[in-house]
Chains A and B, each alone.
Chain A
Amino acid sequence: MLEIKNLHARIADEGTEIIRGLNLTVAKGEVAAIMGPNGSGKSTLSYILAGREDYEVTEGDILFNGQSILEWDPAERAAAGIFLAFQYPMEIPGVATMEFLKVAMNAQRKARGEEPLKVPELLKKVKDAAGTLQMDMGMLKRPLNVGFSGGEKKRAEILQMKLLEPKLCVMDETDSGLDIDALKIVSDGVNALRSPDRAVVVITHYQRLLEHIVPDSVHVLYKGQIIKSGDKSLALDLEANGYAGVIGEAA
């Protein structure tokens, strides 16, 4: 589903190279965890997948279902089924959450040539999804993410993911800022979305999240490259021994 080939990318403004020859393949139905120390390029990778303009790809390619997505803008990528759950979801004053959900869902439907959802249908979908995440519908009347706690913001991200039903979910440090109860709710939300047709990339610093979202593969990102891949036992190894051993091995 996702193939990243010898990807090189830098910060567009100043030219600092962050991703330096990254290779990664994630198959349909797979949950891949990307772990790495701070500054290894984890968040950058998630932004590049979503198409943020601040980064410039200088070499290599990203294929989604066999097609290069490098020329696609973020909206086109999202409509194709790529979803980024942000580490720090934006607060957008003046845009009501419900209105945003409606516009986003219908924009994607339109891009796929489907009819827009009618209001009662939309409300029901949102209500059902919010219920499973233990979110209060009152929250959805408020401006998007404004005044939401860290946990509420993450739940709102998962809510959007459930409603938009992407094919590839990229979760950027979804566990940061979550207490254990919220972590459980968010993880259950992600697990509910696991399916043979959907791939998930979980980016995280800690093994903790992977106890709840058990990955099929684990990849260590360091200095913009995947330096080691393995199964879920690699995550446990990293938790016990830190990144130093793996980094030493690769160097």
Chain B
Amino acid sequence: MNIQTSIKNTPAEQALLDAFGERLALLPGDGDVMLKRDAAIEAIKAGLPTRRIESWHYTDLRRLLTKVPAFDAGLEAKPVAPLIEGSPVLTVLNGVAGKPVAVEGVTATPVAEKLGDGTYAPALGAQGADDAIGALNSAFVADGWLIEIADGTVLEKPLEVQNVQAGGQVHTRFAAKIGDGVTATIVERQTGSGDALVSSVDNVVIGDGCEVTWLIVQEQPETATHFGQFNAWIGKDAKFTLFVMNAGGKLVRQEIRVVTKGEGSDFQLRGVDLLAGDTHTDVTMVLDHAVPHTGSREIIRNVVTGKARGVFQGRINVHQVAQKTDAKMACNTLLLSDDGEFSTKPELEIFADDVACGHGATVTEIDHAHLFYLMARGIDEKTARGLLVKAFVAEVIEELEDEALVEALETRLDGWFADHG
């Protein structure tokens, strides 16, 4: 007797299901880990989300995901130069974690170990029916790093994690347990050279009184599919800044899910999306202000050229108990071509009655008066446009307090403009 499935899987879905069948025996972990994987793959079997699922309305994954490359353990990926010279680097090359680094106060363990001994099982699984990235990653995750930072640690240099793909499929996790009173910057690089399918999930727990900055610099080639998910829980009186720069990828979805767990905590999101070619990039944030007296600012700046399509969905949930929440969100887009497009969906859901929340969104072209002013000083039109576009996103980058980081990111920016200007 045949069991009728309610959905005919697309070639991409079928390729994922086939890959799961082939990979299963090679994936680390059994027992609970395997049960979680089996449960997660069901979500793929049921079909990837379509535009009818609200959180995927602007990114119809079922339609957009057309290429699923096979795993290839034989591919070689090389580490890249760290963003800040001399930073300790934890690598994952073609899906396999490299060697740990010796940094005082920091313990790094490959996720493969944690999957192997089953201790990572509770962290696996999708967060709800629309969590396709969580499901995909839970089914396939093979490695990554679990980073533990001891209470009171002050990191002098940023700690850099690199996920470098060489093609094929890569499914990684970067988890961080950051103790109380830690001052640290973590740089996450997502890059590579092949037309890979990458899923990378971060789970970051930030202790009380911390001051932590996390940067995600995504520079995949324009042939790669990149699914990122960043989950964070912020402790009491902690200040957490997340900086996300998307400057590559054919199909990109970066999810950000943050909960202010401790009173007095503060969340800052700064996003830069540089979109070119015939690509699709979606940044979707869900922020929960879950306790009283917390604040957040989200500023997203997008540059759209060519036939690129971009999406920003920003949802702020202010829980009923979260009085005195102070949240503001802005999404500004510079549209440089007639064929590009950008969709912004800000949402505020407020259940508390004593809060200050707001959001704003703009889509503009280059200001002609500014262009004239620069040209009137002898700067040719192309250079003047470049300066103005760079200025538009540099404003967000320059808010980072670390000058070396600002400089390094502006160098990445210059590189992008040189390739796409």
Cβ contact within 8 Å between A107 and B391: no
Closest 8 CB pairs of A and B: A94-B391, A78-B378, A74-B375, A108-B378, A104-B377, A90-B373, A94-B395, A75-B375
Q: Per a CB cutoff under 8 Å, which of B369, B378, B392, B395 touches A111? A: B378
Any chain B CB within 8 A of the CB of A73? yes
Is B155 at the interface (CB under 8 A from chain A)? no
Query: A137 interface residue, CB < 8 Å from B?
Result: no
Binds A, one of B9-17, B258-266, B380-388: B380-388
Of the candidates A75, A90, A104, A107, which one forms a contact with B370 in the assembled complex, judged by CB atoms under 8 Å apart? A90
CB distance from A177 to the nearest CB of B (A): 17
Complex A-B: 23 CB contacts under 8 Å: A51-B375, A52-B372, A73-B375, A75-B375, A75-B378, A75-B380, A75-B384, A78-B379, A89-B373, A92-B374, A93-B391, A94-B391, A94-B393, A94-B394, A95-B387, A95-B388, A103-B383, A104-B379, A107-B378, A107-B380, A108-B377, A108-B378, A160-B377
Output the nearest chain A residue to B372 by Cβ-Cβ distance: A52
Task: Report the nearest A residue to B394, measured CB to CB.
Answer: A94
- Kindly report which residue of chain B lies nearest to residue A90, judged by CB atoms: B373
Q: Mark B104-134, 1 if CB is under 8 A from A, else 0.
A: 0000000000000000000000000000000
A73 with B381: in contact, given A50-B376, A78-B376, A100-B387 (CB under 8 Å)? yes
Residues of A within 8 A of B (CB-CB), count:
28
Residue of B nearest to A101 (CB): B377
Q: Which of B375, B387, B393, B395 has the most CB of A within 10 A?
A: B375
Query: Which A38-69 residues have a C-beta within 8 angstroms of B?
Result: 50-53
Contact residues in A for B383 (Cβ distance below 8 Å): 103, 107
> In the complex, what residues of B have CB within 8 A of residue A52's CB?
372, 376
Q: Which chain B residues in 31-62 approach chain A with CB under 8 Å?
A: none
The answer to whether the Cβ of A171 comes within 8 Å of any Cβ in the partner chain is: no
At the interface, yes or no: A243 with Cβ under 8 Å from chain B? Answer: no
Asked, given contacts A92-B373, A95-B388, A103-B387, whether A75 binds B381 with beta carbons under 8 Å apart, the answer is yes
Q: Is the CB of A90 within 8 A of B369?
A: yes
Contacts of B390 in A (CB 8 A): 94
| A79 contacts chain B at the CB level, 8 A cutoff | yes
Residues of chain B within 8 A of A108, CB atoms compared:
377-378
Residue A86 is within 8 A (CB to CB) of chain B in the complex: yes
- Which residues 171-206 of A have a CB within 8 angstroms of B? none
Give the chain A neighbours of B376 by CB distance below 8 A: 50-52, 74-75, 77-78, 83-84, 86
Chain A: minimal CB distance from B414 (Å):
12
Residue on B nearest A80 in the bound complex, by CB: B378
CB of B382 to closest CB in A, whole Å: 10
User: Quick one: which of A100-116 are within 8 Å of B by CB?
Assistant: 100, 103-104, 107-108, 111
A160 to B376, CA, bound (A): 11
Name the distance in Å between A165's Cβ and chain B's nearest Cβ.
11
Give A89 to B393 CA distance when docked, in angstroms: 22
Size of the B side of the interface (Cβ < 8 Å), in residues, is 24
A168 to chain B, nearest CB (A): 13
Do residues A53 and B395 form an inter-chain contact, with CB atoms below 8 A?
A: no
Give the shortest distance, in Å, between A44 (CB) and chain B (any CB): 14
> Please, how many angstroms separate the alpha-carbon atoms of A157 and B376 in the complex?
12
Distance, CA A17 to CA B112, complexed state (A): 75
CA distance A100 to B368 in the complex (A): 17
- Give Cα distance in the complex from A79 to B379, angstroms: 8
A164 is an interface residue with CB less than 8 A from chain B: yes
Task: Flag A101-133 by CB within 8 Å of B: 1 or 0 each.
Answer: 001100110010000000000000000000000
**CB neighbours of A75 from chain B (8 A):** 375-376, 378-381, 384
Contact of A92 among B375, B380, B388 (CB under 8 A): B388
Asked if A74 and B372 sit within 8 Å, CB to CB, the answer is: yes
Residues of A within 8 A of B370 (CB): 90, 92
Q: Decide: A94 and B375 in contact? CB cutoff 8 A.
A: no
Known pairs A95-B391, A103-B383; A78 contacts B369 (CB<8 A): no
Which residues from chain B contact A79 at a C-beta distance below 8 Å? 378
Q: Which residues from chain A contact B380 at a C-beta distance below 8 Å?
A: 75, 107
* 0/1 string, B340-368, CB within 8 A of A gives 1: 00000000000000000000000000001
Chain A nearest Cβ from B393, distance in angstroms: 8
